[in-house]
Amino acid sequence: MLLDSNIVIYAFDPAFAQVTSFLRGRSFSASVVTQIEVMGFWRLSEEEYQRFEAFFRAVNVIELSPDVVREAIALRRMRSMGLADAVIAATALLNGLPLVTHNTEDFRGLEGLEIVDPVTSP
């Protein structure tokens, strides 16, 4: 499973306990773009930053590769998509991983991309 940025954030939010329950005992990865989005948020407290830093040290972070870059370009040429979403979707597609996200509309209709939303259907 590849975690979208919102799922990483929700995993540390008590209001989204179902996300933490969903992730418990499962194997998952994150795109380097997710790491940048989450850790680069300018309003993170030092405590939150440290918590996310430990999280990303503990998970498999998938770096950008030339194949991911090509696939992200192809996705953006097919439809209007944000850069981060295109890279995350391309990473999931090329690694054969379901994408775990609550922003399902951002990724709906991408051929071959399995989407899992643990917020609405754990």
At 16 the pLDDT is 95
* Interval 89-104 mean pLDDT: 97
Q: 62-72, pLDDT tens digit by residue?
A: 999 999 999 99
The predicted model scores a pTM of: 0.94
Q: Are 99 and 4 in contact (CB under 8 A)?
A: yes
In order of start, what are the domains of the chain with their CATH numbers?
Answer: 2-116 (3.40.50.1010)
- On average, the pLDDT of the chain sits at 96
What's the 3-state SS for the chain? CEECHHHHHHCCCHHHHHHHHHHCCCCCEEEHHHHHHHHCCCCCCHHHHHHHHHHHHHCEEECCCHHHHHHHHHHHHHCCCCHHHHHHHHHHHHHCCCEECCCHHHHCCCCCCCEECCCCCC
At 41 the pLDDT is 93
| pLDDT band at residue 121 under the 50/70/90 scheme | confident
Q: 39-51, pLDDT tens digit by residue?
A: 999 999 999 999 9
| pLDDT band at residue 122 under the 50/70/90 scheme | low
